């Protein structure tokens, strides 16, 4: 843990304890412990007399906007509490900057079968992927009126424009013919369908599972109202290890695209191939951007050097 993160944990800990004890006097509250893996905000584990919590906080010097908007994340989790979408229960919210919220720590495993270690047994990976696909309709069926602070509706054109900007910062040698794919996508943008609630990064790596079954969808940093086909295209990227040469693995027996689309309610949606291509374009843009940041010394991560083939 960096010195800054340690200091932040020491500064934030008393605030968290005071808010929690305001609703549960005398509650035993331990110190904040950094949890690895977060890419926006700071994520801590907190052991209490009521069980373990996860605390997500705005980094020092930042405000609750964009990916750091912890309050918006808390609001969507609270809104989903009484729906079929499985999410952690929010325990406390503090809107004093730097803002934070606490939620229950849901025990489970969140591993991408084609990417992460330890490898998930092939039959278990296939079952989890089917369950993940089958859970998507519940998310996309959440009534729009129940969604707090929805922000602008993102159309397919908006999504493409976002990743074209990211791709523009990637050294061209890392993404041969990336410009050609971008041009082809731009020339054939599908008309938007009725917007739904989309998670924005829906995949097994953000879906906690116990055994075969999903128990909580986590990491709501970039949720929005948008096109469900964007979500499906991104999910399908992680269903095929051949999309990740150099860093991924092909898992025998994973369900194919047609089966996953049928389970996810997307079998009859038009022009899904465009969204599948967008998902791969997005992945290339993200990986290329991260590798560039590493090579420029802005975020040291030698593992990024394994990504050029992907």
Name the 3-class secondary structure at 160. helix
| pLDDT over 80 (residue 41) | no
The predicted structure's pLDDT at residue 68 = 78
pTM: 0.94
Q: What is the mean pLDDT of residues 133-145?
A: 97
The predicted structure's pLDDT at residue 206 = 97
| pLDDT over 90 (residue 39) | no
- pLDDT band, very low/low/confident/very high, at 1 (cuts 50, 70, 90): very low
> Tens of pLDDT along 228-252?
999 999 999 999 999 999 999 999 9
| pLDDT over 90 (residue 20) | yes
Percentage of the chain modeled with pLDDT above 70:
97
The predicted structure's pLDDT at residue 59 = 84
> Tens of pLDDT along 49-92?
999 999 999 887 777 777 779 999 999 999 999 999 999 999 99
| pLDDT over 70 (residue 118) | yes
Extract the tokens encoding 114: 């084609």
> Tens of pLDDT along 297-306?
998 999 999 9
Instruction: Choose the weakest-confidence range: 17-21, 107-111, 254-258, 264-268.
Output: 264-268
> Tens of pLDDT along 215-224?
999 999 999 9
**CA–CA separation, 234 vs 238, rounded Å?**
7
Three-state secondary structure readout of 201-238: CCCHHHEEEECCEEEEECCCCCCEEECHHHHHHHHHHC
Per the prediction, the chain carries an average pLDDT of: 94
The predicted structure's pLDDT at residue 37 = 61
Beta strands, E only, the chain: 29-34, 42-48, 51-57, 90-94, 100-104, 153-154, 196-198, 207-210, 213-217, 224-226
- pLDDT band, very low/low/confident/very high, at 97 (cuts 50, 70, 90): confident
The predicted structure's pLDDT at residue 38 = 54
| pLDDT over 90 (residue 192) | yes
């Amino acid at each position: 843990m960096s010195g800054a993160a340690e200091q932040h944990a020491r500064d934030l800990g008393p605030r968290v304890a005071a808010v929690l004890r305001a609703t549960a006097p005398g509650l035993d509250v331990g110190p904040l412990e950094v949890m690895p893996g977060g890419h926006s905000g700071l994520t801590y584990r907190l052991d209490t007399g009521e069980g373990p919590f996860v605390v997500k906080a705005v980094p020092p010097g930042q405000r609750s906007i964009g990916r750091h908007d912890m309050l918006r994340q808390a609001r969507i989790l609270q809104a989903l509490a009484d729906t079929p979408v499985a999410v952690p229960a929010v325990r406390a919210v503090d809107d004093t900057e730097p803002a934070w919220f606490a939620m229950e720590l849901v025990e489970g495993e969140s591993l991408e079968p084609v990417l992460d270690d330890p490898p998930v047994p092939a039959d278990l990976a296939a079952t989890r992927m089917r369950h993940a696909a089958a859970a998507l309709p519940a998310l996309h069926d959440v009534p729009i009126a129940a969604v707090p602070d929805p922000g602008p509706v993102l159309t397919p054109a908006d999504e493409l424009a976002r990743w074209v900007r990211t791709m523009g910062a990637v050294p061209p040698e890392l993404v041969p013919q990336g410009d050609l794919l971008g041009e082809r996508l731009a020339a054939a943008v599908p008309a938007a369908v009725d917007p739904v609630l989309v998670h924005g990064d829906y995949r097994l790596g953000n879906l906690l599972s116990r055994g075969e079954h999903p128990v909580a969808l986590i990491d709501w940093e970039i949720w929005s109202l948008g096109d469900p086909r964007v979500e499906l295209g991104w999910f399908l990227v992680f269903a095929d290890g051949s999309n990740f040469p150099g860093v991924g693995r092909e898992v025998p027996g994973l369900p194919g695209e047609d089966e996953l689309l049928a389970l996810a309610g997307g079998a009859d949606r038009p022009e899904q191939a465009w969204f599948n291509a967008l998902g791969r374009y997005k992945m290339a843009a993200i990986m290329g951007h991260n590798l560039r940041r590493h090579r420029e010394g802005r975020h040291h991560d030698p593992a990024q050097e394994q990504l050029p083939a992907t």
